[in-house]
């Protein structure tokens, strides 16, 4: 099973004679110094020698807030370098790097999935030889031992064979599944096979990734707490102070200010300097405005009110006086809480969340959505481990579903009984590794597809019972010569038509 290598870096930059040369990551040895420019994917695991940058780790850890790295920090491959130029000493060869291990996890996980053997194939293996032998016996034994004519024996055997022809089953069962898959696609869910539709009916537990699955994976200003000024003024100061930064936090503050109808008057901005690891100092309208974390306030000896909100907290001060707090956090999807409630109603007993994000953030989201369990600060390999543990403790006959969207989720999506990926925002690797794809990224669709799968399975069971019941009845009559070819044709074609009409109901799931 191939997974698109969209986390796989194509090259590494090595400095030779003052020039940067692009080489294959495989050709770089431990101890070599590589150069990573802004916007490039980190090709190998290593330690930063020089430079200062923000690293987007969301593809690997799912953590929504970019991580700051500077000289001495460890770095993992597969992440994207944000703003600065970095020189990195390679600590692991490409084959041992984080990216190579994730891709290996995906390949290994796919070999562990047991194929659901279809009822019809198992049934046909025994049914076909049995009825053919029975027809031969019916044609030979009565004429030999009970004085029946050979022509009557052959007529009864032919009638028996026509009745026993399993058309109704062979046509209606796959057709019911196609109907169910069609109903799911009408509702914006792509199911990659009838065995997955069957498995959805036995789903429990369901495990979610957080970022991009239950949350939008985008930053928004969620709280404005002014101190001694209006909220509008606090947001204006923050937007102007952060104007020259391309950090996601700065962009979200500027977006919030513009959405609130604010206009950026750049002439009011004077000198602007970034204080590494702390925040920014900017002159606005002749006043000195500080915007940054708690360390900045402490370094400048400003008395501030610490904020315990979940997310990234930006403290502001004007002319040495605390001005207020702005909180930026990843927002929960509108229908996520409803999706969890619907799944509980559909009979899913355990809902679990796995995330690479911090403990406080993960637990706050889990509490807000009413999830049963949450595991935080996990790397891709840890997620696979957690899912393995959940699979081991699973009830007999139940199927574990995992819902994710990132490259980091691909190994887990492959390992779970049912992998469910986000279609529009999800990575190619996740979509390819998954068995079910939600085309509009709405987790509420999962309970819809569970209802569709249960209805489809009940139609399949009705068709199996109806077809076998009618056949058994008419076969009995045929064996004793009480059913002629007309009854035989009804038992074959008539039952098939009724079963097909019933199967078509699977298309109509509201």
Instruction: Give the distance between the most distant pair of CA atoms in the chain.
Output: 118
- Nearest one of 171, 42, 130, 164 to 94, comparing CA atoms: 42
Cα 32 to chain centroid, rounded: 36
Does the annotation mark 26 as catalytic?
Answer: no
The tokens describing 482, both together, are 């009480």
The Cα–Cα gap between 280 and 290 comes to 6
**Distance in angstroms (rounded) separating the CA atoms of residues 423 and 431:** 7
* 72 φψ region: left (φ > 0), alpha (ψ -120 to 50), beta (else): left
Crossing angle of helices 150-164 and 445-479, in 10° steps, is 170
Distances (CA, A) of 169 to 454, 491, 495: 19, 12, 9
C-beta of residue 291 within 8 angstroms of C-beta of residue 241: yes
Alpha-carbon span 507 to 176, nearest angstrom: 8
- Cβ neighbors of 489 (< 8 A, separation 6 or more) are 162
Return the beta strands (E) in 106-246 as ranges: 189-191, 203-209, 215-226
Q: How far is residue 155 from each of residues 275, 370, 447, 479, measured CA to CA in Å?
A: 96, 67, 52, 10
How far is CA 408 from its chain centroid?
10
Q: How far apart are CA 191 and CA 189, in angstroms?
A: 6
Tokens of 499: 């079963």
Q: What is the rounded CA–CA span in Å between residue 292 and residue 286?
A: 19
Gyration radius from the chain CA atoms: 32
3-state secondary structure of 489: helix
Long-range contacts of 253-258 (CB under 8 A, 24+ apart): 253/221, 253/314, 253/326, 253/328, 255/220, 255/221, 256/220, 256/221
Structure token pair of residue 295:
């360390």
Residue whose pair of structure tokens reads 């309208």 in the numeric block: 285
DSSP letter, residue 25: G
Token pair belonging to 119? 């009822």
The C-alpha atoms of residue 237 and residue 379 are separated, in whole angstroms, by 37
What's the sign of the alpha-carbon dihedral 204, 210, 211, 216?
A: positive
Two structure tokens written together for 462: 């009705």
H/E stretch holding 465 reads helix 445-479
| Catalytic residue chosen out of the listed positions 45, 56, 204, 209 | 209
**Block residue for tokens 């979200």:** 252
Measured CA to CA, the distance from residue 295 to residue 468 in angstroms comes to 75
- For the annotated catalytic residues, the residue numbers are 209
């Amino acid at each position: 099973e191939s997974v698109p290598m969209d986390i796989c870096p194509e090259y590494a930059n090595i400095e030779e004679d003052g020039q940067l040369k692009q080489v294959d990551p495989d050709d770089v040895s431990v101890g070599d110094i590589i150069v990573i420019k802004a916007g490039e994917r980190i090709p190998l695991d290593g330690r930063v020698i020089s430079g200062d940058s923000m690293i987007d780790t969301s593809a690997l850890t799912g953590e929504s807030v970019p991580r700051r790295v500077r000289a001495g920090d460890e770095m993992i491959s597969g992440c994207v370098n944000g703003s600065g130029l970095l020189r990195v000493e390679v600590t692991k060869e490409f084959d041992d790097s984080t990216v190579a291990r994730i891709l290996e996890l995906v390949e290994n996980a796919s070999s562990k999935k047991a194929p659901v053997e279809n009822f019809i194939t198992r049934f046909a293996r025994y049914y076909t030889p049995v009825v053919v032998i029975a027809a031969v016996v019916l044609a030979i034994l009565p004429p030999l031992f009970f004085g029946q004519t050979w022509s009557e024996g052959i007529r009864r055997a032919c009638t028996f064979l026509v009745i026993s022809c399993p058309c109704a089953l062979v046509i209606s069962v796959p057709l019911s599944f196609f109907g169910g898959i069609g109903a799911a696609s009408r509702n914006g869910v792509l199911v990659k096979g009838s065995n997955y539709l069957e498995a959805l009916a036995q789903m429990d537990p369901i495990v979610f990734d957080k970022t991009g699955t239950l949350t939008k994976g985008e930053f928004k200003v969620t709280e404005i707490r002014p101190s001694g000024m209006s909220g509008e003024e606090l947001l204006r100061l923050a937007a102007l102070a952060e104007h020259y930064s391309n950090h996601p936090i700065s962009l979200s503050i500027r977006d919030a200010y513009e959405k609130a109808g604010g206009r950026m008057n750049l002439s009011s901005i004077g000198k602007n300097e970034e204080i590494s690891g702390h925040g920014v100092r900017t002159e606005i309208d002749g006043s000195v405005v500080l915007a940054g974390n708690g360390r900045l306030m402490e370094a400048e000896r400003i008395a501030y009110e610490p904020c315990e909100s979940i997310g990234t907290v930006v403290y502001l001060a004007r002319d040495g006086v605390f001005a207020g707090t702005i909180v930026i956090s990843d927002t929960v999807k509108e229908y996520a809480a409803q999706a969890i409630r619907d799944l509980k109603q559909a009979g899913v007993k355990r809902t679990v969340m796995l995330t690479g994000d911090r403990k406080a953030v993960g637990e706050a989201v889990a509490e807000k959505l009413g999830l049963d369990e949450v595991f935080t600060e996990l790397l891709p390999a840890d997620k696979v481990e957690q899912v393995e543990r959940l699979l081991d403790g699973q009830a007999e006959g139940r199927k574990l579903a995992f819902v994710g969207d990132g490259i980091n989720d691909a190994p887990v999506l492959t390992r779970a009984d049912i992998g469910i990926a986000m279609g529009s925002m999800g990575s190619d690797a996740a979509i390819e590794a998954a068995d079910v794809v939600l085309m509009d990224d709405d987790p509420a669709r999962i309970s819809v597809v569970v209802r569709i799968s249960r209805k489809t399975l009940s139609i399949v069971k009705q068709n199996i019972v109806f077809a076998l019941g009618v056949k058994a009845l008419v076969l009995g009559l045929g064996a004793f010569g009480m059913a002629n070819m007309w009854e035989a044709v009804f038992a074959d074609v008539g039952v098939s038509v009724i079963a097909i009409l019933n199967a078509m109901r699977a298309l109509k799931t509201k």
